[in-house]
């Protein structure tokens, strides 16, 4: 069997790479697909696979006049988000995975998942998807090959990554590629596992069809395996958007910003400045992931390893994110949104009237006023970045962009002020490490509970969180021109649960202050938490229709809240045990003493 498989694989393969051929043959011998299809990334292949997906019900064509090239996919209702409790880091030692990851011993994981993969592709097609994370030919770029039995995965990978024949040519005979194996299986949550084997540069994902679990280039390679490789090789793989801000004078400043999933990263990355900001321009380099390494001139350079956006749909409209609306107007795959009678898509928070009747995300009739949501709260769009009207010309630059500021932003209804600047890199790492966030719909579980989410990487760090924070601290030695670090919180609320800061386009006001700080142009005021905008010469609030009391409330620092906060931070640091970096413990003590014990 194995020899026949190997011969069959080699026969129609567009590569002679012996390691790749042997691995594909081995995986095929285990999963036993009826057919093996090597994806070339061509338009003809896209057309063929889209037609097949429509035929087998995976995709529903939308009204092609209203949304050219767009399709709707409905997932299994039990499979609508990442599954952190079923996501494992499989290192020989449990301590290498750390207390914030689920761990499985590699042999045990291979055996357990091997049993599930055994024969699972019988009667099905195995697609071989060669892809690159990062522009082809960039020193940042990593190659992966994903084997999957899902045409939905292939069509998404085509948008989210640089995929196809060119990647195989770039790989040549090298064995330096991530080995990804995925099967949708029977989509049974009891038989669902997302396993990472950092030492083997391998990912095995079984039993899900949801983006973050199965588009293996994204969270699995670009963040979990990426962060592991970053530590080995001296760079950072981060859950960050990258944007360029250009002033009316033509000065462009690049910023990277970490926010937990579903906290508005895509909106921030595509922000349209308010009308008072004539001549200012925001351009998107990336909306979710940044790979950053020291460049030849001593600055920190970043690329977006992805080629598309996998964004949250609900709440997207012409007010919150006009650029996203343009981005998803064509050639977009929608997952778990509602369908209108005329074949368009709908979601909670879309512009215009709520339609009288819809088909909901599960394919059931839905009527206006229904208590149930028509679109799933974590429904998603997959759209090529080239659709973005404000895509940065640098988004394909193999050298990346120089980062001047790093922003850490949680989702906190209290405690954390609108914006502050860290005193220095170590303090900035402390701010990132102690990020907290009220949970959202991108992961299964309770919504609205505060959890520590260091650098928005809690679900995505591929090794011990203590070592990861130490790696951040160590990086300052290899970056002579360190970016400045900031903390923001757009989500502070008043006593009645009303947001104090308008957010969206008005976040430009905070961004301008950050840019001015980076270039040393505005004075600042020191507080016990960090440097904040001064009352005079601070944030530009011209034209902002918000009561001054709301601004002072959004920027206020309440010592009693901070005492509670420090206790909750302690619980997190204790979890890291002896690996909690000393420098961060000292930062905590300093803050405690500033607070008066």
Active site residues: 263
Q: Which residue is nearest to ligand SAT (CB)?
A: 212
Compute the least distance from the CB of residue 325 to Mn ion, in Å. 20
Instruction: Kindly give the pairing relationship between strand 193-197 and strand 87-89.
Output: parallel
Compute the least distance from the CB of residue 116 to Mn ion, in Å. 27
With CB under 6 A, what is the number of residues at the site for ligand SAT? 9
Sole binder of ligand SAT in the list 33, 185, 207, 211 (CB under 6 A): 211
DSSP line for 150-173: -HHHHHHHHHHSEESHHHHHHHTT
Q: Does 261 bind ligand SAT (CB under 6 A)?
A: yes
111-130 residues in contact with ligand SAT (CB under 6 A) are: none
Q: What x/- string results for residues 219 through 238 when contact with ligand SAT is judged by CB under 6 A?
A: x-------------------
Kindly tell me which of 5 and 213 has the beta carbon lying closer to ligand SAT.
Answer: 213
The one of ligand SAT, Mn ion, none whose footprint includes residue 310, by CB under 5 to 8 A per kind, is: ligand SAT
Q: Which of 236, 252, 256 is nearest to 486 (CA)?
A: 256
Q: Which of 138, 92, 133 is nearest to 220 (CA)?
A: 133
Kindly tell me which of 261 and 507 has the beta carbon lying closer to Mn ion.
Answer: 261
Compute the least distance from the CB of residue 543 to ligand SAT, in Å. 33
396-455 residues in contact with ligand SAT (CB under 6 A) are: 442
The one of Mn ion, ligand SAT, none whose footprint includes residue 79, by CB under 5 to 8 A per kind, is: none
Q: Which of 314, 529, 565 is nearest to 437 (CA)?
A: 565
How many residues are present in the chain? 597
User: Looking at 173-181, 253-261, 364-372, 514-522, which segment touches Mn ion (CB under 5 A)?
Assistant: 253-261
Compute the least distance from the CB of residue 23 to ligand SAT, in Å. 25
Compute the least distance from the CB of residue 289 to Mn ion, in Å. 7
User: For 121, how many CA atoms within 13 A lie in the half-sphere containing its CB?
Assistant: 25
Kindly tell me which of 331 and 453 has the beta carbon lying closer to ligand SAT.
Answer: 453
User: Looking at 43-51, 212-220, 330-338, 544-552, which segment touches ligand SAT (CB under 6 A)?
Assistant: 212-220
- Burial (CB < 10 A; 0-12, 13-18, 19+), residue 477, is exposed
The one of Mn ion, ligand SAT, none whose footprint includes residue 82, by CB under 5 to 8 A per kind, is: ligand SAT
Compute the least distance from the CB of residue 240 to Mn ion, in Å. 9
Whether the CB-CB separation of 366 and 338 falls below 8 Å is answered with: yes
Kindly tell me which of 226 and 273 has the beta carbon lying closer to ligand SAT.
Answer: 226
Integer CA distances (angstroms), 234 to 67, 97, 321, in order: 44, 19, 35
What are the residues whose beta carbons fall under 8 Å from the beta carbon of 399, sequence distance 6 or more?
138, 295, 301
Distance CA 323, CA 386 (A): 12
- Burial (CB < 10 A; 0-12, 13-18, 19+), residue 276, is middle
The one of ligand SAT, Mn ion, none whose footprint includes residue 483, by CB under 5 to 8 A per kind, is: none
Greatest Cα pair distance in the chain: 77
Q: What x/- string results for residues 285 through 304 when contact with Mn ion is judged by CB under 5 A?
A: ---x----------------
Compute the least distance from the CB of residue 262 to ligand SAT, in Å. 7
* Cα-based torsion angle of the residue sequence 332, 334, 338, 342 in order, rounded to the nearest 10 degrees: 30
Kindly tell me which of 238 and 553 has the beta carbon lying closer to ligand SAT.
Answer: 238
Q: Does 310 bind ligand SAT (CB under 6 A)?
A: yes
Q: What x/- string results for residues 260 through 289 when contact with Mn ion is judged by CB under 5 A?
A: -x--------------------------x-
Number of neighbours of residue 280 by Cβ within 10 angstroms: 18
Distance CA 453, CA 572 (A): 10
Whether the CB-CB separation of 256 and 406 falls below 8 Å is answered with: yes
Sole binder of ligand SAT in the list 149, 283, 288, 360 (CB under 6 A): 288
40-99 residues in contact with ligand SAT (CB under 6 A) are: 82
What are the residues whose beta carbons fall under 8 Å from the beta carbon of 169, sequence distance 6 or more?
none
Distance CA 591, CA 589 (A): 5
Compute the least distance from the CB of residue 570 to ligand SAT, in Å. 28
Distance CA 559, CA 565 (A): 10
Q: What is the 3-state secondary structure (H, E, C) of 396-456?
A: CCCCCEEEEEEEEECECCCCCCCEEECCCHHHHHHHHHCCEEECCCCECCCCCCEEECHHH
User: Looking at 52-60, 169-177, 201-209, 210-218, which segment touches ligand SAT (CB under 6 A)?
Assistant: 210-218
Kindly tell me which of 182 and 484 has the beta carbon lying closer to ligand SAT.
Answer: 182
* DSSP state letter for 238: E
Q: Does 160 bind ligand SAT (CB under 6 A)?
A: no
Site residues for Mn ion per CB under 5 A: 261, 288
Site residues for ligand SAT per CB under 6 A: 82, 211-212, 218-219, 261, 288, 310, 442
């Amino acid at each position: 069997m194995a020899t026949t498989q190997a011969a069959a694989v080699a026969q129609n393969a567009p590569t002679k790479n012996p390691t790749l051929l042997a691995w594909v043959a081995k995986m095929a011998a285990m999963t036993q697909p009826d057919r093996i299809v090597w994806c070339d990334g061509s338009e003809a292949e896209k057309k063929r696979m889209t037609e097949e997906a429509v035929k087998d019900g995976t995709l529903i064509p939308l009204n092609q006049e209203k949304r050219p090239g767009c399709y709707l996919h409905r997932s299994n209702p039990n499979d609508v988000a990442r599954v952190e409790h079923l996501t494992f880091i499989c290192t020989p030692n449990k301590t290498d995975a750390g207390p914030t990851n689920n761990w499985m011993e590699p042999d045990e994981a291979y055996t357990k998942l091997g049993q599930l993969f055994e024969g699972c592709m019988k009667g099905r097609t195995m697609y071989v998807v060669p892809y690159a994370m990062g522009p082809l030919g960039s020193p940042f770029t990593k190659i992966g090959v994903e084997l999957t039995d899902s045409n939905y995965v292939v069509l998404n990978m085509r948008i989210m990554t640089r995929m196809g024949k060119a990647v195989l040519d770039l790989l040549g005979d090298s064995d330096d590629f991530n080995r990804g194996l995925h099967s949708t299986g029977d989509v049974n949550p009891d038989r669902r596992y997302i396993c990472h084997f950092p030492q083997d540069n391998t990912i095995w994902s079984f039993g899900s069809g949801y983006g973050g679990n199965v588009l293996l280039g994204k969270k699995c390679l670009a963040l979990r395996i990426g962060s592991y490789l970053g530590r080995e090789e001296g760079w950072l793989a981060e859950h960050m958007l990258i944007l360029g801000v250009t002033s009316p004078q033509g000065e462009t400043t690049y910023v990277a910003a970490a926010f937990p999933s579903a906290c508005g990263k895509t909106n921030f990355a595509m922000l349209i400045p308010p009308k008072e900001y004539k001549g200012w321009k925001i351009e998107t380099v990336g909306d979710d992931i940044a790979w950053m390494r020291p460049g030849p001139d001593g600055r920190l350079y970043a690329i977006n390893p992805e080629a598309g956006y996998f964004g949250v749909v609900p709440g997207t409209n012409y007010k919150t994110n006009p650029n996203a609306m343009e981005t998803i107007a064509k050639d977009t795959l929608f997952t778990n949104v509602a369908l209108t009678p005329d074949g368009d898509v709908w979601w909670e928070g879309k512009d215009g009237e709520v339609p009288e009747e819809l088909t909901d995300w599960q394919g059931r009739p839905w009527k206006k006023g229904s208590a149930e949501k028509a679109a799933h709260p974590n429904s998603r769009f997959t759209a090529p970045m080239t659709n973005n009207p404000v895509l940065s010309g640098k988004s394909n630059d193999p050298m990346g962009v120089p980062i001047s500021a790093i922003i850490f932003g949680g989702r906190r209804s209290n405690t954390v002020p609108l914006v502050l600047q860290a005193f220095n890199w170590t303090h900035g790492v402390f701010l990132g490490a102690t990020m907290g966030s009220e949970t959202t719909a991108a992961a299964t579980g309770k919504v609205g509970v505060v959890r520590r989410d260091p650098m928005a990487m809690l679900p995505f760090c591929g090794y011990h969180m203590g070592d990861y924070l130490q790696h951040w601290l160590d990086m300052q030695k290899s970056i002579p021109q360190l970016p400045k670090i900031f903390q923001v919180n757009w989500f502070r609320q008043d006593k009645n649960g009303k947001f104090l800061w308008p957010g969206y386009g008005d976040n430009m006001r905070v961004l301008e202050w950050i840019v001015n700080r980076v270039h040393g142009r505005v004075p600042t005021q020191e507080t016990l938490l960090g440097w904040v905008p001064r009352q005079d010469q601070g944030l530009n609030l011209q034209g902002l229709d918000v009561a001054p009391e709301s601004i002072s409330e959004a920027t206020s620092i309440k010592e009693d809240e901070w005492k509670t906060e420090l206790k909750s931070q302690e619980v997190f640091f204790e979890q890291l045990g002896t690996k909690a970096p000393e420098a961060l413990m000292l930062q905590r003590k300093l803050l405690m003493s500033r607070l008066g014990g």
